[in-house]
């Protein structure tokens, strides 16, 4: 049986991690996988996470199973973080999942169960694991225009035209903030227009929010999601805690399913629990418990928010420095978009051979579509990157 297997396509982002590790050069720079790094190149455990872990170690008396959908306290804390008071709580079903990817996978499973003929609309480009999971599940998908590679901004006209073709019952996957891989985001008026299109077509939004707090701040980054959730009859939301709590390997995420009417919530909640049971039974608890402790303890929460804000401002400063250094080196404003983009990523908008040249000649690793992880930089490596970008002729 095992001899029937054929090699699966490598995940482009994770493949790069292996290539970077294997590179013996000590001046190499990793701008690949989306992991936050501080000025020393370390991915620290956040202070509030350490403090919560200590408290948990001292007080936890059992590691028996939680419930299939995870702890209700985690649902409440995350619903409050992502949605605030934008939606009536009794319309929201929620389940803890193994990371944000787990939430996306469970959302797709839910769509497959509820409406297997639905087409899932993805931004072009999007995080490569989105189409990979959809293809694996055999669901129909289509792309909508999103990124204008000339201006490096959102091609909103193209997006609106394409989404107008969605059919009733289709699913439109939107990035809540900090679009991955481009860094180009919708403005609030554009979110409002997307909502009108969804309402006209009868398509349902699925929002992937994996970087809340990395763009314009915790509240601002959730503004689009909240607007959609409050104005659409139904909405799915996949949220990740990997980045904003720095708990990557704990696999902490949540899927929320908002029904039009509260009397559907029980069956939606039961379905989320059922889907967890089919795929992995109980969700991981450690990270979810830490997140709950942090969000519900005022002192831990204040410390977490302060550190998250430092992380955000650090990335913004690196963006501005990179744009300024490129401006000085090239005498043009064509890299100004780097300071306008938000979140961990920006897409440089160059060809794969230039990306390869950066890697081979300068030891600078970024994804082949020219997505760079801003958080992989520090004050010194920004200058090295700027010179290398000019050197390879981008």
Q: Of 48, 93, 103, 210, which is the active-site residue?
A: 210
| Least distance from ligand LMR to the Cβ atom of residue 291, Å | 18
| Least distance from ligand LMR to the Cβ atom of residue 372, Å | 11
In this complex, which beta carbon is closest to ligand LMR, that of residue 33 or of residue 324?
A: 33
- Alpha helices in 60-128, H assignment, sequence order: 72-83, 99-114
Neighbour-count burial of 62, counting CB atoms closer than 10 A to its CB (0-12 exposed, 13-18 middle, 19+ buried): exposed
In this complex, which beta carbon is closest to ligand LMR, that of residue 34 or of residue 284?
A: 34
| Least distance from ligand LMR to the Cβ atom of residue 178, Å | 11
Q: Does residue 180 touch ligand LMR according to CB under 6 A?
A: yes
Ranges within 60-99 binding ligand LMR (CB under 6 A): none
Q: Do 91 and 260 touch, CB atoms closer than 8 A?
A: yes
Q: Does residue 13 touch ligand LMR according to CB under 6 A?
A: yes
Q: Is 210 a catalytic residue?
A: yes
For residue 10, what is the DSSP state?
P
Ranges within 266-325 binding ligand LMR (CB under 6 A): none
Give the pairing type, strands 141-145 and 120-124: parallel
**What does the per-residue mask of binding to ligand LMR show for 119-138, with x meaning CB under 6 A?**
--------x-----------
C-alpha count within 13 angstroms, C-beta hemisphere, residue 357? 13
In this complex, which beta carbon is closest to ligand LMR, that of residue 132 or of residue 378?
A: 132
The Cβ of residue 249 has, within 10 Å, a number of other Cβ atoms equal to 11
Q: Is 127 a catalytic residue?
A: yes
User: 42: alpha, beta or left, given left = phi > 0 and alpha = psi -120 to 50?
Assistant: beta
Q: Closest by alpha carbon to 234, among 256, 211, 210? A: 256
Total binding residues toward ligand LMR, as defined by CB under 6 A: 5
| Least distance from ligand LMR to the Cβ atom of residue 116, Å | 26
In this complex, which beta carbon is closest to ligand LMR, that of residue 127 or of residue 146?
A: 127
Compute the distance between CA of residue 236 and CA of residue 234 in angstroms, rounded to an integer.
Answer: 7
C-alpha count within 13 angstroms, C-beta hemisphere, residue 50? 6
Residues with catalytic annotation? Answer: 127, 208, 210, 243
Residue numbers at the binding site for ligand LMR (CB under 6 A): 13, 33-34, 127, 180
């Amino acid at each position: 049986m095992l001899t029937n297997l054929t090699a699966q396509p490598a995940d482009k982002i994770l493949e790069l991690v292996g290539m970077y590790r294997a590179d013996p050069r000590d001046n190499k720079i990793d701008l690949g996988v989306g992991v936050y790094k501080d000025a020393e190149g370390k991915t620290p455990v956040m202070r509030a996470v350490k403090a919560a872990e200590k408290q948990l170690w001292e007080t936890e008396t059992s590691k028996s199973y939680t419930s299939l959908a995870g702890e209700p306290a985690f649902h409440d804390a995350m619903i409050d973080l992502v949605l605030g008071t934008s939606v009536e709580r009794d319309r929201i079903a929620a389940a803890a999942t193994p990371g944000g990817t787990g939430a996306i996978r469970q959302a797709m499973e839910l769509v497959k169960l509820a409406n297997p003929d639905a087409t899932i609309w993805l931004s072009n480009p999007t995080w490569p694991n989105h189409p990979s999971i959809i293809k694996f599940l055999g669901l129909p998908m289509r792309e909508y225009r999103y990124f204008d590679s000339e201006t490096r901004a959102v091609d909103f006209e193209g997006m609106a035209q394409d989404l107008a073709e969605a059919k009733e019952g289709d699913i439109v996957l939107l990035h809540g903030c900090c679009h991955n891989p481009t860094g180009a985001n919708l403005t609030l008026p554009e979110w409002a227009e997307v909502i009108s299109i969804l309402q006209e077509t009868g398509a349902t939004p699925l929002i992937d929010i994996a970087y809340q707090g990395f763009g314009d701040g915790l509240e601002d980054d959730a503004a689009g999601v909240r607007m959609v959730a409050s104005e659409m009859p139904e909405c799915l939301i996949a949220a990740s805690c990997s980045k904003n709590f720095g708990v990557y390997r704990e696999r902490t995420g949540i899927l929320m399913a908002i029904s039009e009417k509260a009397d559907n919530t029980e069956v939606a909640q039961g379905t989320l629990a059922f889907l967890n049971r089919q795929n992995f039974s109980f969700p991981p608890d450690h990270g979810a418990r830490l997140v709950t402790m942090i969000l519900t303890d005022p002192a831990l929460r204040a410390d977490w928010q302060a550190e998250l804000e430092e992380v955000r401002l650090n990335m913004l400063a690196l963006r501005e420095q990179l744009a300024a250094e490129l401006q000085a080196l090239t005498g043009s404003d064509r890299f100004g978009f780097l300071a306008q983009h938000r979140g961990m990523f920006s897409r440089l908008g160059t060809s794969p051979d230039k990306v390869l040249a950066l890697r081979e000649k300068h030891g600078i690793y970024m994804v082949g579509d020219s997505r760079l992880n801003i958080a992989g930089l520090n004050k010194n490596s920004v200058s090295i990157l700027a010179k290398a970008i000019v050197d390879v002729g981008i």
